[in-house]
A and B are shown apart, each in its own frame.
Chain A
Amino acid sequence: METQELEKIASQVRRDIVRMVSAVSSGHPGGSLGCADFLTVLYFDKLKHDPANFKMDALNEDVFFLSNGHISPVWYSVLARSGYFPVSELATFRKLSSRLQGHPSTDHHLPGIRMASGSLGQGLSYALGAAETKKLNGDDSIVYSLHGDGELQEGQIWEAAIYGAAKKVDNVIATIDYNGRQIDGDLDDVMSLGNLSQKWQAFGWEVLEMDGHNIDEIKATIDKAKSMCGNGKPIVIVMKTEMGQGVDYMMGTHKWHGSAPNEEQLADALTQLEETLGDY
């Protein structure tokens, strides 16, 4: 898909995000906005999938797991906009009896979701498991996952990192949303990850780096990662992003990690984000 088209979709996704969280005065806009470009490229240009016919088993389809489940708004928007469920359903986010739970859930049977997430650190293990099953099934599709950088403080991530390299799970592409911020403040103040790329390299992973707000770079990096699959090593993309990207007052701070804009703030945000596909 043309870069300009993808940029238009990402702008609409950002509108969806701020409107969804503002409507219920809860949710996580910061990280959602930061991952809008990546997930738009992944779902609209790279993923081998069939949104109109969602199947849990994903045979001969690529699989995506959102490990940092709190950025559900961006995932729901991208899923709806790519055809998994009606866009109008975004209006039910975090409301009683909705399929769009605060954190992603399979319990409510929302097409596009294969595992609950929200309790952090588990998604890389999901990806490795699904990838091992693909190998057993002779299915050469790819398993993708997305993780927060703060989430990497969870020990389970590193259990999975050891497994992925030791067992040569080379059909997994994990991406880290490296925005350097978490709920309590800057990641380096809370608990620094040191040299993140070197950490993954030391754990035996192929490491790519990219700017998470440059659509062309995202496209090229995912293509490169795909071309590296099957070479005996799992792949991780360290993606530099800005929390709150696209809304000026949400950028440069951790304060919008888990806070929703009020009506006035929402109006301000919407003036900065072009409506390209029509609001839900």
Chain B
Amino acid sequence: MIETTEIEVLGKKDTRSGFGEGLLEIGKKNKDVVALCADLTGSLKMNAFENEFPERFFQVGIAEANMMSMAAGMTIGGKIPYTGTFANFSTGRVYDQIRQSIAYSNKNVKICASHAGLTLGEDGATHQILEDIGMMKMLPNMTVIVPADFNQTKQATIAIADLTGPVYLRFGRPSVPIFVKPDADFQIGKADVIMEGTDVTIIACGHLVWKSIEAARELAEKGISAEVINMHTIKPLDTEAVLRSVAKTKCVVTAEEHMINGGLGDSIAQVLTRNNPLPQEYVGVNDTFGESGTPAELMTKYGIDTRNVVQAALKVIERK
């Protein structure tokens, strides 16, 4: 057993509620913030904003294409539109609208996407998008943020108002442990090293950050010192943080609630290939669709649970 960085659990909440609280707070601070929703106000926790600022809230009905292009149009005249719907309908359904009117036209739209990934649960694969990070990070001008818990989602929701340009903010449905301090200084594009270690670097985003913390604790019991990095910003990627850590550990595990193809792991692999080729193992969904089930069951079945991070770490250390 070796010492690990102590991480205090501050409670348990869903990340989408962090978005709802953050939206209300930035709405109070910045009068240019407006919000659009495609008939999922309750699911996105946008009711508080709607009640406080009814004139700045736009219910567009089940018409996501119109919502995305309208949001782009609303920037003309200085508004900062936040769109809200499920991640699947925020990206795959409206990719061309985002591409032409938001990314290519470089408009100050914040695409806020809930119920991302397998942990949407029982609704099944039609709604469990696992390709969205890839699609969004490929678009020029787009910033991609995947916060890890309630507090960080709230902080990110507030922070993106000050960044001029398109943003994809991805969060989720289930209640998960809160470990980011409520007063943390969230900086877009700057990774958080949340546990320091010397044997392996675990780089994770979203719900997999907590799983990686759990994995690091298990690894410590086996005498392995793992460094855990919360890579909340996929693009622009904090390349320096990656290289600094691997200079010490010489190997990487990436962990995400996303397809292995095209996600965070591939972004990290690109950094390694170009700068310091070292062994990497991926924890992610391997080229398959999800299915109905509880979030916990799905994470286990599709290989994105704590034990998968532990196994990947042991494997990658062997490859050093």
Chain B residues in 8 Å Cβ range of A163: 60-61, 63, 66, 70
| Contact across chains for A133 and B97 when beta carbons are under 8 A apart | no
CB of A198, distance to nearest CB on chain B (Å): 22
| Contact across chains for B104 and A129 when beta carbons are under 8 A apart | no
| Contact across chains for A136 and B79 when beta carbons are under 8 A apart | yes
Chain B residues in 8 Å Cβ range of A129: 69-76, 81
Residues 102-159 of A contacting B (Cβ, < 8 Å): 105-107, 114-119, 121-123, 125-134, 136-137, 139, 155-156, 159
Partner of B73, one of A115, A136, A137, A159: A115
| Contact across chains for A160 and B100 when beta carbons are under 8 A apart | no
Does A267 sit at the interface, judged by CB under 8 A? no
Partner of B76, one of A114, A119, A166: A114
| Contact across chains for B74 and A133 when beta carbons are under 8 A apart | yes
- Complex: chain B residue closest to A117, CB-CB: B100
Does A91 sit at the interface, judged by CB under 8 A? no
Does A266 sit at the interface, judged by CB under 8 A? no
Does B316 sit at the interface, judged by CB under 8 A? no
| Contact across chains for B104 and A107 when beta carbons are under 8 A apart | yes
Given contacts A105-B104, A116-B101, A130-B77, A122 and B55 within 8 Å (CB-CB): no
Chain A residues in 8 Å Cβ range of B100: 116-119, 122
Complex Cα distance A56/B34, Å?
19
| Contact across chains for B69 and A156 when beta carbons are under 8 A apart | yes
| Contact across chains for B34 and A136 when beta carbons are under 8 A apart | yes
| Contact across chains for A159 and B66 when beta carbons are under 8 A apart | yes
Residue interface mask B245-272, A partner, CB < 8 A = 1: 0000000000000000000000000000
Residue interface mask B41-71, A partner, CB < 8 A = 1: 0000000000000011010110101111111
Does A57 sit at the interface, judged by CB under 8 A? yes
Does B187 sit at the interface, judged by CB under 8 A? no
Q: Interface extent on B, as a size class? A: 20 to 34
Residue interface mask B96-128, A partner, CB < 8 A = 1: 110111001111000000000000000000000
Does B78 sit at the interface, judged by CB under 8 A? yes
- Complex: chain A residue closest to B38, CB-CB: A159
| Contact across chains for A132 and B66 when beta carbons are under 8 A apart | no
CB of B55, distance to nearest CB on chain A (Å): 7
Complex Cα distance A120/B115, Å?
29
- Among A115, A123, A139, A160, the one with the most B-chain Cβ atoms within 10 Å of its Cβ is A115
CB of A144, distance to nearest CB on chain B (Å): 13
Chain B residues in 8 Å Cβ range of A156: 65-66, 69, 97
Chain A residues in 8 Å Cβ range of B69: 122-123, 125-126, 129, 156, 160
Chain B residues in 8 Å Cβ range of A116: 100-101, 104-105
Given contacts A106-B106, A159-B65, A163-B66, A133 and B76 within 8 Å (CB-CB): yes
Complex Cα distance A105/B107, Å?
12
Complex Cα distance A35/B96, Å?
26
Given contacts A156-B66, A159-B63, A163-B63, A133 and B104 within 8 Å (CB-CB): no
Complex Cα distance A107/B166, Å?
14
Partner of A136, one of B55, B61, B71, B96: B55
Chain B residues in 8 Å Cβ range of A160: 63, 66, 69-70
| Contact across chains for B63 and A106 when beta carbons are under 8 A apart | no
Chain B residues in 8 Å Cβ range of A119: 96, 99-100
CB of B137, distance to nearest CB on chain A (Å): 19
Complex Cα distance A65/B104, Å?
16
Complex Cα distance A127/B76, Å?
10
| Contact across chains for B66 and A134 when beta carbons are under 8 A apart | no
- Complex: chain A residue closest to B107, CB-CB: A115
Chain A residues in 8 Å Cβ range of B65: 121-122, 125, 155-156, 159
Complex Cα distance A63/B107, Å?
16
Complex Cα distance A162/B39, Å?
15
| Contact across chains for B61 and A58 when beta carbons are under 8 A apart | no
Complex Cα distance A36/B63, Å?
33
Complex Cα distance A116/B107, Å?
10
| Contact across chains for A57 and B73 when beta carbons are under 8 A apart | no
Does A59 sit at the interface, judged by CB under 8 A? yes
- Complex: chain A residue closest to B62, CB-CB: A159
Chain B residues in 8 Å Cβ range of A58: 76-77
CB of B305, distance to nearest CB on chain A (Å): 40
Complex Cα distance A167/B81, Å?
17
Given contacts A130-B73, A133-B73, A115 and B78 within 8 Å (CB-CB): no
| Contact across chains for A125 and B73 when beta carbons are under 8 A apart | yes
| Contact across chains for A133 and B79 when beta carbons are under 8 A apart | yes
Interface residues of A (CB under 8 A from B): 56-59, 63, 65, 105-107, 114-119, 121-123, 125-134, 136-137, 139, 155-156, 159-160, 162-163, 166-167
- 7 sample A-B contacts, Cβ–Cβ < 8 Å, listed by A number: A107-B106, A115-B76, A129-B71, A129-B73, A130-B74, A132-B58, A166-B61
| 4 A-B pairs with the lowest CB-CB distances in the bound complex, closest first | A129-B73, A125-B69, A133-B77, A129-B70
